[in-house]
Amino acid sequence: MLHELGHFDQFLSKRDWYLDLLAKQSSGTEAERTSCQGGIEADNLARNEWPVCSDLGIPKRQTYWDDFGKVRTTSDLAKFGVKV
């Protein structure tokens, strides 16, 4: 739920950027969709989810696709368009 509230914060505080990426995500190529989702999720983790996790002392996901603290291999991340 915390993560989804972060998307609401993105909508409120970075509306043009957020809506632009959502539009590209819904109409672009598969690579563009993955890239847009990655950008949205990385911003949400960094600005919203990670600070709260730090405050509460709970594990942080390294990426949106991470299983809460289990760092993925670069080959796993590549499947989601994440470049390391």
Q: What is the pLDDT of residue 16?
A: 97
Alpha carbons 70 and 61: distance in angstroms, whole number:
7
Tell me: pLDDT of 43 over 90: yes
| Residue 51 near residue 10 (C-beta atoms within 8 A) | no
Per-residue pLDDT at 1 exceeds 80: no
Which pLDDT value is given to residue 33?
82
Contacts of 68 (CB under 8 A, 6+ apart): 59, 60, 61
Q: Model pTM?
A: 0.72
Pairwise CA distance, residues 39 & 7, whole Å = 12
pLDDT band at residue 32 using 50, 70 and 90 as cut-offs: confident
Q: Give SS3 for 3.
A: helix
Average pLDDT along the chain: 81
